[in-house]
Amino acid sequence: MTVRCGLIAVSDRATAGVYEDRGTPAMREYLSRVITTPFEVVERLIPDEANQISAAIIELADVEGCCLILTTGGTGPAPRDVTPEATEAVLDRVIPGFGELMRRISHAIIPTAILSRQLAGTRGSSLVINLPGSPKAIAECLDAVMPAVPDCIDLINGPRIDVIASVGAWRPPQS
Amino acid sequence: MTVRCGLIAVSDRATAGVYEDRGTPAMREYLSRVITTPFEVVERLIPDEANQISAAIIELADVEGCCLILTTGGTGPAPRDVTPEATEAVLDRVIPGFGELMRRISHAIIPTAILSRQLAGTRGSSLVINLPGSPKAIAECLDAVMPAVPDCIDLINGPRIDVIASVGAWRPPQS
Amino acid sequence: MTVRCGLIAVSDRATAGVYEDRGTPAMREYLSRVITTPFEVVERLIPDEANQISAAIIELADVEGCCLILTTGGTGPAPRDVTPEATEAVLDRVIPGFGELMRRISHAIIPTAILSRQLAGTRGSSLVINLPGSPKAIAECLDAVMPAVPDCIDLINGPRIDVIASVGAWRPPQS
């Protein structure tokens, strides 16, 4: 069975066509490069509207069956940035270590990384991770958290996902 | 007066006897090695049931008078892992620095440490700390946070606890 | 137009006059040293009472128009320490990276830094940051977060604040 991954770009400007969405290609190319299990992506481009973000996560998790859902954009402190709260509203549980780690590694690169309120957590058997907007920061954050993603999806009873060795993913010996 | 510490092992399998509880001995031996104040432990072994975890913390804090309560197990993202929410439900206040630090030092050892939702906080004059399940990770986390434990218990009006010098515990000069 | 910054010292003992408030001078001198935009400070000294802390933040943000509000004191685990919860109660949103970073850099200096529950976030166009009580720790925390403060205030539509180059503040190239 082919694994499915959801990619949600959140951006008023990209939705209005005044700005090119560069987050989705960055997320897609990253996953294509590191995931060895056959997979397909389901993509959504939506404005910075909390109810649309929450609805997109629900759809990709519950209807489309995506075991990994990545969002890009809308994590800052600006009034229109509502991705973290819209995500948290539809998670069963937040896993705080994802946000902590992504901010910490990004902060070593740029001091304003502390402004990102990005979080991650689970909804049923789906792992949802907020990523920043810039392609460079997306790759940095995925480099940081991807080693824990396969084991996390195992633990929430999602499908087995294998990644290339250089990711450094860890699974318990018995699995 | 002898200080009391509570040790709660949370595990469906250990409770059912299909698996040996190795967390409790690890916590007990750690405390015996570093705490120089006379103390005794009160131990509980319970399944991954939120209401039983919450009840055990309340009993050890309010009835048994334990100033330090350690839990082991149930902090991951699996559906049966409910220790953090069961703990938070009966805390007066969460102290986020404990979870942040334990995840950070564990992440330097194993990348899936970010999946642990372990937290700590206070209930009255008791400090409650969630620890991972593995004896090795228990010791690593206690090495990280123990330097702050005596001062924390002082600040919440618990009994004075002294530890061996190699812990590197800090107290304000005036106390 | 002159920018306004609010400084709130929270301390039962300083309010009662049994203890000198050293936090306010430390915060004032720090800002005077690093902010190059003309600014003035609005200061409040209040006891560790949650409703007075919340009211002071609301007043400095909504009435006095302070774009940056710093508090000192009341962030520990002691029963009278209520600054974080009194702050969170009047924030629109918490920005968790501030607290995480301040605890992390303070922890490299003193292990009990994990006991500080200090947080930061926004109320309208005001950025509110909890700081520790000691002048030394205030400077250490401000050194850590100040590089992100000007961009944060830009993003919440506050006034432009410029700081000396040695702060290492970052702003996006287009702004």
Q: What is the pLDDT of residues A27-43, one digit of tens each?
A: 999 999 999 999 999 99
Ranges under pLDDT 50 in chain A: 175
Mean pLDDT of C26-31: 98
pLDDT of residue A128: 99
- Helix, strand, or coil (residue C161): coil
In whole angstroms, what is the distance from residue A72 CA to residue A132 CA? 5
Which residues of chain A make contact with B79, given a CB cutoff of 8 A? 156-157
Q: Strands, DSSP E only, in chain A? A: 3-10, 39-46, 68-72, 93-94, 120-123, 126-131
Burial A107-143 (b: 16+ CB within 10 A, else e): beebbbbbbbbbbbbbbebbbbbbbbbbbebbbbbbb
Phi, psi of C105, deg, nearest 5? -75, -35
- Mutation choice for A interface testing from C104, C152, C153, C174 by most A CBs within 10 A: C152
pLDDT of residue A173: 86
Burial of C17: CB neighbours in 10 Å, binned 0-12, 13-18, 19+ = exposed
List residues bridging with B44 in a β-sheet: B8
Mean pLDDT of C58-79: 98
pLDDT of residue B159: 98
Q: Are C81 and C74 in contact (CB under 8 A)?
A: yes
Residue in the structure block whose two tokens are 């618990």: B158
| Residue C35 DSSP symbol | B
In whole angstroms, what is the distance from residue C42 CA to residue C5 CA? 6
- pLDDT band of residue C1 (cuts 50, 70, 90) is confident
Q: What angle do CA B123, B124, B125 make, to 5 degrees?
A: 105
Which residues of chain A make contact with B85, given a CB cutoff of 8 A? 93
Residues 6+ apart with CB under 8 A from A136: none
Distance between A137 CA and the closest CA of chain C, angstroms:
14
Nearest-CA neighbor of B67 among B98, B31, B101?
B31
**Per-domain boundaries in chain C:** 3-67+77-148
C103 vs B93: CB contact, 8 Å cut-off? no
In whole angstroms, what is the distance from residue C132 CA to residue C112 CA? 12
User: Is C93 in CB contact (< 8 Å) with chain A?
Assistant: yes
Look over chain B and give the mean of its residue pLDDT values, rounded to a whole number: 97
Q: What is the CATH number of domain A3-167?
A: 3.40.980.10
pLDDT of residue A67: 98
**Encoding tokens for residue C20?**
């000198």
pTM for the model: 0.97
| pLDDT one-digit tens code per residue, B60-86 | 999 999 999 999 999 999 999 999 999
Fold of C3-67+77-148: Molybdenum Cofactor Biosythetic Enzyme; Chain A (3.40.980)
In whole angstroms, what is the distance from residue B156 CA to residue B150 CA? 10
ipTM above 0.85, yes or no: yes
Nearest-CA neighbor of A20 among A6, A4, A9, A29?
A9
**Encoding tokens for residue A9?**
């770009």
